[in-house]
Amino acid sequence: MSTLPSRPRVMGIVNVTPDSFSDGGRWADTDHAVAHARELLADGADLLDIGGESTRPGAIRPEVGEELDRVVPVITELAQGGAVVSVDTMRAEVAAAALAAGAQVVNDVSGGLADPEILDVVAASTATYVAMHWRAHSTTMQAFTDYGPDGVVEGVRRELGERLEAVLAAGIEAERVLLDPGLGFAKTAAHNWQLLRGLDALESLGQPLLVGASRKSFLGSLLAADGAPRDVGEREFAHAALVALLASRGVECLRVHDVRATCDALAVVEALGGVRQGVLP
């Protein structure tokens, strides 16, 4: 695995979907998705996360064939052009096809819970695996926000630890694994802030962290005016501030929509920071 520069990796988001919360289908066909991905690379993205299933609250899952049709052509073209590509999927079949098309990372928001066979697919490859904290699919996930008396930080640490054990047991080496606290997935806005304050507890699991806070609703709630959350397209200044704080905490990877703004924030941190070792390609 490679040595990181003195900042986290920047993972640019490419939603090849008609219903994502952040871009509403702007990149929902191959040509537009590839063009957008190339813009993200030009803005400084280190790798690209290609997803064909929206995981916004309430989203309905596409059929497997539809997800394959969305992501595989995009991954193929970008990988052939030399980009480092991640596939954002919960399905073993999609992960296998994406890896065959040239993806080097499998970003599984379910951490193997939605489709346990995805762990076998990754284990049989050399790909990096991102396991996110997850409790349920988008249609019902906000019914699972009770973390009991121990609280959300301990609950996520414990449940991510269980997923890590399953990932390692499947044969995926620890040096290929990142963990993601899953901001917004079965979590309230308050939970998200508690997790961001409690990253040390998650780092105690011994794996590097990926964090995806970009444009999420807890930022909109923070910036609400007259009770109305800040529009999804107007949350970037707050996100840039968060990016700088996360970089100073040693987070391995940031999954973002606005790569240029993120890289600008990281340039400030980089001027003050050190060099770390990473697990992403």
Closest CA to 96 of 74, 78, 117: 117
Residues 6+ apart with CB under 8 A from 43: 12, 259, 260, 263
189-197 helix and 151-169 helix, angle to the nearest 10 degrees: 70
Q: What is the pLDDT of residue 279?
A: 57
Tell me which H or E stretch contains 199: helix 199-203
Q: What is the pLDDT of residue 21?
A: 52
Rounded CA-CA distance 264/96 in Å is: 35
Rounded CA-CA distance 167/112 in Å is: 8
Residue for token digits 């890289």? 263
Rounded CA-CA distance 112/92 in Å is: 9
Evaluate whether 123 touches 96 at the Cβ level (below 8 Å). no
Predicted TM-score of the model (pTM): 0.91
In Å, how far are 77, 82, 105, 207 from 176, measured between CA atoms?
Answer: 24, 21, 9, 9
| Helices vs. strands in the chain: H and E counts, helices first | 10, 8
Instruction: Spot the catalytic one: 9, 176, 187, 216.
Output: 216
Residue for token digits 């995806």? 212
CA angle 110, 113, 119 (to 5 degrees): 90
Q: Is position 255 annotated as part of the catalytic site?
A: yes
What would the two tokens of residue 140 be? 């019902």
* Buried b or exposed e, range 172-183, using 16+ CB within 10 angstroms: beeebbbbbbbb
Q: Along the 281 residues of the chain, how does pLDDT read in single tens digits?
A: 333 345 799 999 999 988 555 565 676 789 999 999 999 999 999 999 999 998 877 788 899 999 999 999 999 999 999 999 999 999 999 999 999 999 999 999 999 999 999 999 999 999 999 999 999 998 899 899 999 999 999 999 999 999 999 999 999 999 999 999 999 999 999 999 999 999 999 999 999 999 999 999 999 999 998 889 999 889 999 999 999 999 988 899 999 999 999 999 998 888 876 434 455 66
Q: Is position 70 annotated as part of the catalytic site?
A: no
